[in-house]
Amino acid sequence: MRKYSVQETNNIALGQLGFDELSVVKVAGVPQPTTGNWVAIKAVGGSALVSTILTSIGDDIETGTGLDAFELEDGEVLYAPITSVTPRTINGNLIAYRR
């Protein structure tokens, strides 16, 4: 479980590795996943509804597992080692912090 030093962990927590702004991408009307290597996702300026969040450790939020979607309200942050997010709707911005 210990992959990062204390200093590296502090930098990650502070978002010092940068971020990606995620958007809704659809192919034939179906939302598509965006892949990356993130430590957290945050809704800014509005809510965001995502249908799949894949993590490298812990539980995934996937359609068919009882949680059809996960809604982040404005300012809410989901912390996890995230590798894929499928945004369905974004009312504002969805920020993914790199790890």
Which residue positions in the chain have pLDDT lower than 50? 64-65
3-state secondary structure of 13: helix
pLDDT at 63: 52
Q: For the chain, list the domains and their CATH numbers.
A: 6-98 (2.60.120)
Residues 6 or more apart whose Cβ sits within 8 Å of residue 21: 93, 94, 95, 96
- DSSP string computed for 14-49: TTTT-EEEE---EETTEE--EEEEEEEEEEESS-EE
pTM for this predicted structure = 0.78
